[in-house]
Amino acid sequence: MNGRTGNGQAGGGAARRRRALVALFVMALMAGILFYVFAGESGGAEGRSDAQNVAAGCAPTESDPGGTTAYTPDAPVRGDLGDGLVISGTVREAGTCEPIEDARVQVWLATSEGGEYDPDNRGSVLTDGRGRYRIETYPVVPLYGEPNVHVAYDDGEYEAVFRRLVIDRDDADLTTNFVLEPNG
């Protein structure tokens, strides 16, 4: 009788330990899920205005996670790709803050006309004497879950920068400015 009671208590203790371990595992799993999902940043913002860039001493622009997806080097320089979304900005040199002329900026995005890989949705544009670029496309549509526009500097004169900017599909303009670091 005593032996049975002792075994029962030992068995009850093991069961309690198992339950506690399972409860701990579930709590750790839920905490891990919440941390993984909500701790990271998502979606590139348009970033600093040109005036803010100058005021901040022209710190280099950083690439966004996913900025290089569906990238094709040396996209041809061409005119507007469509109408409805104007993508523009200014390109400056880090440190000196001087505008960069003839910097090549590439744009690619998914539109109602096709996906990111569609050659009609991809094109490069050169900056003018004041470092400004402008290209018009059809409005962006969601691809891989959100409307995202790729804008990159990639002509090799400076360190390449790849932005992946998340906007609303109804947005008619997107301004993103670049501050480039010399290669090196």
Partner 1 sequence: MGSDEKRRGASRLVPGLVAALLLVPVVVALTSPHLANAPAARLVATATGVLALGLLVFQVVLPGRPRWLVRAAGAGLMRLHRVIAIAVVGLVLAHVGALFVYSPDDTLFALSPAAPAYSRLGVVASFCLALTVALSLGWRRLGLGRPEWRALHLALAGAILGTAFAHGFMVQGALDGLLGTLLLYAGLAVAGASILYTVISRSLRARGRLASRRASEEPSP
* Cβ neighbours of residue 181 closer than 8 Å, sequence gap 6 or more: 60, 94, 158, 159
66 binds partner 1 (CB under 8 A): yes
> Which of residues 96 and 112 has its CB atom nearest to partner 1 in the complex?
112
**Which of 164, 157, 64 has the alpha carbon at shortest distance from 108?**
164
- Give least dist CB 149 to partner 1, A: 14
- Give least dist CB 133 to partner 1, A: 24
> Which of residues 92 and 164 has its CB atom nearest to partner 1 in the complex?
164
* Cβ atoms within 10 Å, residue 4: 8
| Contacting partner 1 within 134-173 (CB under 8 A) | 141-147, 166, 169
Q: Which residues contribute to the site for partner 1 (CB under 8 A)? A: 15, 18-19, 22-23, 25-26, 29-30, 33, 36-38, 40, 42-43, 65-66, 68-71, 112, 114-117, 141-147, 166, 169
